[in-house]
Amino acid sequence: MTHPMVSRRGLRSHSALWVALALALAVGGCESTGIGARSAVPESEKTFSATSPTNIASLTDVVQRNPNDPQAHNMRGTVYGQAGRYPEALADFNKAISLDPNYAQAYANRGLIHRQTGKLDLALADYNRALTIDPSYATAYLGRGLAQRERRQLILSLNDFNKSIALRPDNAEAYYNRGLLYQSQRQHQFAIDDFSTAVGLSPRQAEPLIARGLSYLAIKDLKAASSDLDEAVSVEPQSLQAWTSRGFVYEQMNDKEKAAGSYAKALNIRKDYEPARTGFTRIGGQFGQPYQTFN
């Protein structure tokens, strides 16, 4: 299937998409990041996920024993970034780059930190530098595409997602984010195609299932939407987005039992979660009453 170009209309957040669906039957949003509402980190940038103090201490020992090794600083910086310790991460990436000015991964990792902290101009400069060093660096295209999407540069973002996919057709994150871009422009069939590819490549991630379910909902294929959201809550039982979106889909199917049960599940996770509370109230849910969520 030939993919369309994307218009330059502004994007809303992906959370705004499904909240709008749940409250007003509207579709049109887009998330940051990549697979995971929890994180915008491209999978290939997650080079080390063990962020415990013990592991950071071990990496610090490696850095101290190899102070002029840019890879050691880059590795520890990655872990600091995963732990949300952005100043320490930036310091390590800066050091890695000072030791090796042609270290593409360190530029991309620093770009990621800049993107996560809202410094999009700095992020784009780092991704551009990484791609100058390594024009076939798929992760840098994906990161730059995410930064451009946040700047509402939709055509440029789409081009970078396309390039990332061409270089790494096994990267679920790139398909997912391109799908969100299509979804934000109401190109739902193209979005569904990309989300389906992401699901196939990464079947234990809830976010592509949720996103595909929302696009199915937008084109009024409620059976397919409910199936995706059933799977999403099975994959990630603590997902507020999955349970609330599932509640709305079953509400549209006039299955108030499952709708109430889904909203109640979301409220059990976070009792002050307004989209779920609004939906639960709208369908006449009663607190303290048990509901059947699956047949």
pLDDT band at 35 (very low <50, low <70, confident <90, very high): low
| % residues pLDDT > 90 (the chain) | 79
Give yes or no for residue 12 having a pLDDT over 60: no
Q: How far apart are CA 186 and CA 218, in angstroms?
A: 8
User: Please, what is the Cα angle at 61 between 56 and 67, to 5 degrees?
Assistant: 115
**In this predicted structure, what is the pLDDT of residue 11?**
37
User: Which of 195, 196, 164 shows the shortest CA–CA distance to 44?
Assistant: 164
Distances (CA, A) of 63 to 57, 238, 288: 10, 37, 55
Give yes or no for residue 232 having a pLDDT over 80: yes
User: Which of 239, 235, 291, 283 shows the shortest CA–CA distance to 264?
Assistant: 291
pTM equals 0.83
pLDDT band at 54 (very low <50, low <70, confident <90, very high): confident
Domains and CATH numbers, the chain: 1-39+172-295 (1.25.40.10), 43-170 (1.25.40.10)
User: Please, what is the Cα angle at 59 between 58 and 60, to 5 degrees?
Assistant: 90
Q: Average pLDDT over the chain, rounded to whole?
A: 87
Which tens digit of pLDDT belongs to each residue from 128-141?
999 999 999 999 99
**In this predicted structure, what is the pLDDT of residue 9?**
40
Which tens digit of pLDDT belongs to each residue from 147-162?
999 999 999 999 999 9
Question: Looking at residues 193-200, what average pLDDT do you find?
Answer: 98
pLDDT band at 52 (very low <50, low <70, confident <90, very high): confident
pLDDT band at 36 (very low <50, low <70, confident <90, very high): very low
Q: How far apart are CA 20 and CA 53, in angstroms?
A: 40
SS3 string, the chain, reads CCCCCCCCCCCEEHHHHHHHHHHHCCCCEECCCCCCCCCCCCHHHCCCCCCCHHHHHHHHHHHHHCCCCHHHHHHHHHHHHHCCCHHHHHHHHHHHHHHCCCCHHHHHHHHHHHHHCCCHHHHHHHHHHHHHHCCCCHHHHHHHHHHHHHCCCHHHHHHHHHHHHHHCCCCHHHHHHHHHHHHHCCCHHHHHHHHHHHHHHCCCCHHHHHHHHHHHHHCCCHHHHHHHHHHHHHHCCCCHHHHHHHHHHHHHCCCHHHHHHHHHHHHHHCCCCHHHHHHHHHCCCCCCCCCCCCC
Average the pLDDT over each of 3-17, 208-222, 224-238, 278-292 and give the range with the smallest value.
Answer: 3-17
Give yes or no for residue 198 having a pLDDT over 60: yes
CB 240 within 8 A of CB 273: yes
Q: How far apart are CA 223 and CA 67, in angstroms?
A: 58
State both tokens at 45.
Answer: 């940038």
Which tens digit of pLDDT belongs to each residue from 65-105?
999 999 999 999 999 999 999 999 999 999 999 999 999 99
Tokens 């990041």 belong to: 33
Give yes or no for residue 16 having a pLDDT over 70: no
Residues 160-176: b if buried by 16+ CB within 10 A, e if exposed: bbebbbebbeebbbbbb
Give yes or no for residue 276 having a pLDDT over 70: yes
**In this predicted structure, what is the pLDDT of residue 199?**
98
Q: Tally the C-alpha atoms within 13 A of residue 212's C-alpha that lie toward its C-beta.
A: 27
pLDDT band at 30 (very low <50, low <70, confident <90, very high): very low
